[in-house]
């Protein structure tokens, strides 16, 4: 089945910020209890997950005297904030800045003597919080028909709950203006909500039905489903993939998927994957078969291995003759083994980052483990054909590659050691991967072959290091949500997503400039210019991630790896036409 996933689906900025704050606090080595004041978001699965991380939901403050407490994105009334302070607990304020802006607006205007009207759900936590900021009692209404019940107001102003249906808000404002010509209007519906609803409406003529993913009690998800229905789309609101009515989807050929602001990415991916497996109307079995083969190739690290071969071939070509074809094969087998085995050891975050990959790993664990060991053995055998030093060097690289994910301190020391494994060191994953590639692609051949010009070898090393770093850094960004949940210390989580993205831009930009300079200076020959193409491809992948052009982890992985295939194909063409 064809699936069209909304670019705006999933966590909004405020929810992401709140989740990051809670998970960072939960991952800290701090013995004080951690509470959220009310459920952090309206999503049962996320709340269950937080429970496993010892985050307790508090409904009242009775009998509490210590610990840390998180104010959720909806915010709270000032009176409750004062009570929280009295408990002496450390307050972690995750009130969304956009909600805080509405709170300030209400306080400012009611202090000036204006009367406040809020369009929203009076039982919703955000609205309860907003009401607390009004110095005179506010009016809360949900629809235009309630305007008639309002008393005569002298200086009214209206605001909206940030996740309000914008069409409903428009109707209410029209009715209010008819009654109060001097009405002040503040459209405080969050832009994230506007865009989400607008995108759903734009799906009207593009899909046969709409699946809205999110908690059944989540107001913004309910409203999203309401918007989809109002647009005339057959709409299914589901919490998880288990709630999908697959029989009802079979007569269709394209399904739109969107999700509420409190729905995590892994839940969206699970729903998308389940729908994709349904054989849609008019879908050929050949196409379906090809897609399955492609998926299996990506999931079984086949693409990583193929990409490694092509990359090593291109890097060897860049380093200048002689290029021995055995080394790209060794690189392919080595990276397949290390990548596959590390995935098996380290599958915790995969459940959230790439549910499809995690499921594949669980089902085919034995085959993947056997394949990884066989690949490592084959790489060693090939290395042996190039002499003992090459064999020993590769054996050392394999050991280093494997201990990356393994504990370096015994279990009993775990609580005292922040860095339990090498990969726990902040930012180590991207660097380790980049250096592993330099080791096997650039350094290993030096043990048995006379290198080409040293300048070309150095250019090739820089090329491999920076492009590999770009690849791993991009995956770190892609895996942010799952890594945060399991408490991994990747670079984006240590220095922030914006800074990590900037770093990648600098990395790839510098590599581009470096290749141009190397080409003109004659350090590496004109082939250096051709390698700008895969570098440009990687920059495009980074843009695709930032702009949310592609949401599927599988497709993103395939696109990133395709740059290495591209490098290899260009090198092969250069070899043919040299
Ligand atoms: S929907 Fe908008 S206002 Fe509400 S939490 Fe998300 S970003 Fe903030």
CB neighbours (10 Å) of residue 389?
A: 13
If residue 260 lies in a helix (H) or strand (E), which one and from where to where? none
Whether 481 is in the pocket of ligand 1, judged by its Cβ within 6 Å, is no
Tokens of 391: 């064999």
Instruction: Give 336 Cα–ligand 1 centroid separation in angstroms.
Output: 42
Binding site members: 12, 42, 74, 96, 124, 162, 190, 218, 220, 262
For residue 99, give the ligand 1 atom closest to its CA: 3
Instruction: Answer whether 12-95 and 203-293 agree in fold.
Output: no
Instruction: Give 500 Cα–ligand 1 centroid separation in angstroms.
Output: 24
Q: Please, where are the H alpha helices in 69-124?
A: 78-86, 97-111
Torsion of CA 237, 239, 241, 244, to 10 degrees: -30
Decide if 126 is catalytic.
yes
Asked if the ipTM is above 0.90, the reply is yes
Task: Check residue 7 and give its pLDDT.
Answer: 87
Task: Check residue 417 and give its pLDDT.
Answer: 47
Task: Check residue 423 and give its pLDDT.
Answer: 65
If residue 34 lies in a helix (H) or strand (E), which one and from where to where? strand 34-37
Instruction: Give 245 Cα–ligand 1 centroid separation in angstroms.
Output: 30
CA 562-567-568 angle, 5° bins: 95
What CATH number was assigned to the domain covering residues 203-293? 3.40.1010.20
Write out the CATH class of domain 99-191.
Answer: alpha beta
Three-state secondary-structure class, residue 510: helix
Tokens of 556: 């993103």
Q: What is the pLDDT along the chain (578 residues), one digit of tens a residue?
A: 888 989 888 888 898 889 889 988 888 878 899 999 988 888 888 888 888 888 999 877 777 777 899 999 999 999 999 988 888 899 999 999 999 999 999 999 999 999 999 999 999 999 999 999 999 999 999 999 999 999 999 999 999 999 898 899 999 999 999 999 999 999 999 988 889 999 999 998 899 999 999 999 888 899 999 999 999 999 999 999 999 999 999 889 899 999 999 898 888 888 988 898 887 777 677 777 777 787 777 777 888 999 999 999 999 999 987 678 999 999 999 999 988 877 776 666 666 666 677 777 788 888 888 998 999 999 999 999 999 999 999 999 988 877 776 666 555 555 444 555 666 676 777 888 899 999 999 999 999 887 778 899 999 999 999 999 999 999 888 887 777 776 666 788 778 888 999 999 999 999 999 999 999 999 988 999 999 999 999 999 999 988 878 777 778 888 999 999 999 999 999 988 87
- 12-95: CATH architecture: 3-Layer(aba) Sandwich (3.40)
Domain ranges in the chain are 12-95, 99-191, 203-293, 294-576
Report, in this order, helix, strand and coil percent for the chain, each rounded to 5.
60, 10, 30
Beta bridge partners of 118: 140, 159
Nearest residue by C-alpha to atom 8 in ligand 1 = 14
Three-state secondary-structure class, residue 456: helix
Write out the CATH class of domain 294-576.
Answer: mainly alpha
Torsion of CA 409, 413, 416, 419, to 10 degrees: 20
Alpha-carbon span 327 to 245, nearest angstrom: 51
Tokens of 198: 């607008």
Task: Check residue 138 and give its pLDDT.
Answer: 97
Nearest residue by C-alpha to atom 5 in ligand 1 = 14
């Amino acid at each position: 089945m064809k699936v069209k996933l909304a670019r705006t689906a999933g966590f909004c900025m405020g929810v992401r910020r709140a989740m990051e704050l809670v998970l960072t606090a939960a991952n800290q080595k701090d013995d004080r209890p951690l509470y959220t004041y009310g459920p952090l978001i309206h999503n049962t699965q996320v709340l269950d997950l937080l429970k496993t991380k010892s985050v307790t939901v508090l409904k009242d403050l009775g009998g509490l005297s210590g610990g840390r407490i998180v104010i959720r994105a909806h915010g709270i009334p000032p009176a409750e904030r004062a009570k929280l302070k009295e408990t002496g607990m450390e307050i972690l304020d995750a009130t969304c800045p956009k909600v805080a802006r509405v709170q300030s607006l209400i306080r400012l205007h009611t202090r000036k003597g204006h009367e406040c009207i809020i369009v929203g759900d009076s039982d919703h936590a955000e609205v309860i919080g907003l009401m607390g900021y009004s110095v005179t009692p506010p009016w809360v209404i949900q629809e235009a028909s309630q305007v008639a019940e309002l008393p005569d107001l002298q200086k009214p102003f209206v605001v909206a709950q940030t996740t309000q249906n914008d069409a409903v808000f428009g109707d209410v404002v029209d009715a209010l203006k008819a009654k109060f010509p001097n009405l002040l209007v503040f459209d405080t519906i969050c832009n994230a909500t506007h865009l989400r609803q607008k995108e759903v409406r734009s799906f009207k003529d593009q899909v046969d039905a709409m699946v809205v993913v999110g908690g059944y009690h989540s107001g913004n998800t309910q409203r999203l489903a309401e918007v989809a229905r109002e647009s005339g789309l057959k709409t299914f609101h589901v919490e998880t993939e288990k709630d999908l009515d697959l029989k009802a989807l079979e007569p269709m050929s394209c399904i739109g998927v969107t999700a509420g602001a409190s729905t995590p990415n892994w839940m969206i991916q699970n729903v998308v994957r389940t729908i994709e497996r349904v054989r849609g109307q008019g879908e050929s079995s050949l196409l379906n078969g090809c897609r399955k083969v492609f998926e299996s190739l990506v999931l079984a690290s086949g693409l990583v291995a193929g990409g490694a071969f092509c990359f090593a071939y291109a890097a060897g070509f860049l380093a200048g003759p002689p290029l021995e074809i055995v080394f790209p094969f060794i690189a392919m087998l080595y990276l397949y083994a290390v990548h596959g085995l590390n995935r098996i050891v380290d599958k915790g975050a995969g459940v959230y980052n790439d549910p499809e990959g995690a499921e594949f790993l669980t089902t085919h664990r034995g085959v993947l483990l056997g394949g990884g060991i066989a690949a490592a053995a084959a790489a060693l055998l090939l290395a042996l054909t190039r002499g003992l030093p090459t064999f020993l060097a590769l054996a050392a690289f394999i050991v280093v590659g494997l201990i990356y994910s393994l504990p370096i301190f015994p279990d009993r020391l775990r609580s005292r050691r922040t860095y339990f494994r090498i990969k726990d060191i902040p930012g180590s994953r991207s660097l380790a991967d980049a250096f592993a590639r330099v080791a096997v692609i650039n350094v290993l051949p030096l043990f048995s072959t006379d290198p080409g010009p040293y300048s070309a070898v150095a250019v090739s090393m820089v090329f491999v290091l920076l492009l590999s770093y770009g690849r791993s850094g991009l995956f770190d960004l892609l895996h942010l949500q799952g890594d945060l949940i399991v408490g991994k210390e990747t670079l984006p989580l240590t220095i922030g997503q914006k800074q990590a993205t900037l770093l990648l831009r600098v990395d790839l930009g510098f590599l581009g400039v470096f290749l141009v300079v190397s080409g003109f200076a004659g350090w590496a020959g004109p082939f250096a210019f051709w390698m700008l193409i895969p570098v440009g491809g990687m920059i495009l992948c980074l843009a695709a991630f930032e702009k949310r052009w592609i949401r599927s982890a599988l497709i993103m992985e395939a696109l990133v790896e395709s740059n290495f295939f591209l490098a290899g194909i260009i090198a092969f063409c250069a070899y043919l036409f040299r």
